[in-house]
Structure 1
Amino acid sequence: MFEKLKENIINYIYNISKQPVKLNVLLQANILFNEGMKLDGTKLGFRLRAARAYLLFLVLIHLIIIPTSYIIHELFAALDCHASIIIAVIFTAFLFGIFNYFKEWTNDEVSKMRIKQMWSLHFPHFPYDEFHVEVSNIFEKAKNEDIKHVDLERYILDHLSA
C-alpha cells in the first residue's frame, strides 16, 4: 500500500520523460546515488512540478495538523497569547524544514525509480539490487583504463559475465 501511494505521489508531482537515459549517464547516476549524492533530475529525465508539490504537501500536512489542533486546542486556549505567537512562528519554520525534507525524499525516490527503470533496459539479465555496486566498481575501473563510450557496455557485460 505504501509503495503504491509513493508511486502515485511521484507520478503526480514529477514530470517523467518517456525517453531512455544513455548508458554513461545511468552509470554516473548510479555511482552518485550509491554515494548518497543529490542527483540532477534533468539528466535522468524528470522535473519537479513545484506547484503540485506545494499543493500535495499542504494537503498531507493538513491531514496531520487539523486533528492535532483539535486535540491540543484547550492547551493553546489556556496559554498566553505571546507564547502562542512564538509557538506559531517556530511551527511555521518547522513546516518549511519538513517541506525541504519532503522534496529531497521524493527526489531520491524518483531518482531510484528512474535508475531501476533504465537499469532493466541496459542490464536486463542483472538485477539492480544485486549488481549495482559491482557495476559501479567496474565503471570506475573502465574510466581509469580509458575505455571508450562505444566499448563501455561490452566491457561491463564482459566483467559481469566473468
Structure 2
Amino acid sequence: MFDKLIDEKLLPFIFTQPKHPMRFNELMRANKLFVDNMPLEGQIPGVKLRLGRAYLFMIVVWNLVLIPLALIFHKILAKIDCHVAIILAVVFTLLFFGILSIFKQWAAEKMAEKMIRQAWKIHFPYYDYETYHAKVAKFYDDAVERGVTGANLEMYIMNALSLEK
C-alpha cells in the first residue's frame, strides 16, 4: 500500500514524466546503470526533478515531525540558554538539508526503476523483469564491448535471451 502511494502520488508530484516511452537503447543504458548501482539522476530522458515540489514535500514532512516534538519538549526548550537554541537551530537545518539530499537521491532511484519497469513491459513483454534484468545488463555490456550498435543491438540481446531461455 505504501509503495503504491509512492508510485502513484508522490513520484508524479515530484517528477515530470515523459509523454513518449523509452527507446530500446535508452532502456538498455538505464538498466545497466541501475544494475551497477550507479546514480541515475538525469540519466532517464524526459524525467526531471521538480525541485520546488521536492522542497515543499520535505518542508511539510519536516514540520509534521518537528512541531509535535517542539510541543512535547516546549517547557525544556523554553528554559534553555539562547546559545543552545541557536546551535539546535543550526543542527536541525543541517539535518533538514542532509535528509533532503538523501530523499532526492532515493526518489530519483525509485522514479528510474519505475520508468525502467514501464519500458521493460514494452520492449520485453515475455521476459520477467525480476528474473532477466541482470542478465540483459550483462548482454548489453557484452554487446557494447563487441561494438554492436543501433538495431543490431536489439537483435543481439534478443538472440542472447532466446539462447539463455
TM (norm. structure 1) is 0.94
> Following the alignment from structure 2 to structure 1, what is the Cα–Cα distance between the partners of residues 46 and 19?
8
Where do residues 1-162 of structure 1 align in structure 2 (5 Å cutoff)?
Answer: 1-7=1-7, 8-41=9-42, 43-162=44-163
For 2:143 and 2:16, the matched residues in 1 are separated by 33
Cα RMSD over matched residues?
1.3
Q: Which amino acid aligns with 1:50?
A: L
Deviates more, 1:66-75 or 1:35-44: 35-44
CA contact (8 A) 1:16 1:45 kept: yes
Aligned length: 162
* Deviation digits for residues 1-26 of structure 1 (CA, Å, limit 9, x no counterpart): 21122121101111101211111111
Unpaired stretches in structure 1, ≥5 consecutive residues: none
Q: Give 1:91's aligned amino acid.
A: F
Report Cα offsets for 1:70-116 as digits up to 9, x if no partner: 11212212211111111111111111111111111111110010011
TM-score (norm 2): 0.92
State percent identity of aligned pairs. 38
Aligned-partner SS, 1:6: helix
Cα distance, 1:40 vs structure 2: 4.2
Shift of 1:44: 3.1
For residues 44 and 56 of structure 2, the distance between their equivalents in structure 1, rounded to whole angstroms, comes to: 26
Mean CA deviation greater in 36-45 or 66-75: 36-45
Structure 2 stretches lacking a partner, 5+ long: none
Q: In 2, are the aligned partners of 1:26 and 1:44 still within 8 Å (CA)?
A: no
CA contact (8 A) 1:29 1:115 kept: yes
Q: Is the CA contact (8 Å cut-off) linking 1:33 and 1:39 kept in structure 2? A: yes
Cα shift at 1:42: 5.9
Q: Deviations over 1:48-80 (max 9, x none)?
A: 111111111111111111111111212212211
